[in-house]
């Protein structure tokens, strides 16, 4: 025979809870209200800034004759120029493509479209990995004086990518409320 214990009347889900009321600022079953949209907008803004910086770098090195080695070193793919025939055209094209993608998708991300967050996370992950490689390549090849813009670009792209994959950003994109858990008995 199995004994089952039930709480006394008034101790159920609608009645008195022996642990007291929730602290001020909390709803009856967790946080009240939808999550803030600020993280979604911050992610979009960071990607727009990343794209803007990449576009400035690409326009500066547009004809391949720029004397500013720091900006030329920040072209996406320029670290592979020796392997591909000393031509920077592919790096300029790649940088313009990445910049336009980040700006367009970043601006569209202000509409909180969930799939764009993941597209930007993939693009950001690839560009972040490249910039990490570029920093290592520059430092290994005595290019330390040209590493400043590459490091800034790497930090910006890394920040955007991390923000894009955070679960809190996903909640901000959806505007979802937290799941209400039943009270403990």
pLDDT at 144: 80
C-alpha 116/C-alpha 101 separation (Å) is 11
Mean pLDDT of the chain: 80
Is 8 inside a domain boundary?
no
Q: Which DSSP category does 146 fall into?
A: G
pLDDT at 24: 57
C-alpha 121/C-alpha 18 separation (Å) is 46
Ranges in the chain, pLDDT < 50: 16, 177
Q: Long-range contacts of range 127-130, CB-CB < 8 Å, 24 or more positions apart?
A: 127/50, 127/76, 127/98, 127/157, 128/154, 128/157, 128/158, 128/161, 130/76, 130/77, 130/79
Q: What's the pTM? A: 0.74
Is 167 inside a domain boundary?
yes
> Whole domain around residue 55: which residue ranges?
38-174
How many structural domains are present in the chain? 1
Is 126 inside a domain boundary?
yes
Task: At 82, list the tokens.
Answer: 């020796």
Contact assessment for residue 30 and residue 180, using Cβ atoms and an 8 Å cutoff: yes
pLDDT per position as a tens digit, 76-124: 888 877 766 667 788 888 999 999 999 999 999 998 888 899 999 999 9
């Amino acid at each position: 025979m199995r004994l089952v214990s039930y709480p006394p009347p008034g101790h159920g889900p609608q009645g008195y809870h022996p642990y007291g009321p929730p602290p001020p600022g909390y709803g009856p079953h967790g946080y009240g209200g939808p999550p803030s949209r600020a993280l979604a907008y911050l992610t979009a803004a960071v990607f727009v800034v990343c794209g803007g910086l990449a576009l400035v770098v690409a326009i500066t090195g547009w004809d391949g004759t720029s004397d500013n080695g720091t900006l030329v070193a920040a072209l996406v793919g320029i670290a592979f120029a020796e392997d591909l025939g000393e031509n920077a055209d592919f790096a300029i094209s790649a940088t313009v493509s990445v910049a336009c993608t980040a700006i367009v998708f970043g601006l569209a991300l202000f509409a909180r479209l969930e799939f764009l967050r993941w597209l930007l996370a993939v693009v950001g992950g690839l560009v972040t990995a490249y910039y990490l490689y570029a920093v290592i390549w520059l430092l290994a090849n005595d290019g330390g004086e040209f590493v400043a813009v590459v490091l800034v670009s790497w930090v910006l792209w890394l920040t955007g990518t991390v923000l894009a994959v955070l679960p809190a950003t996903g909640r901000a994109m959806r505007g979802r409320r937290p799941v209400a858990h039943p009270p403990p008995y």
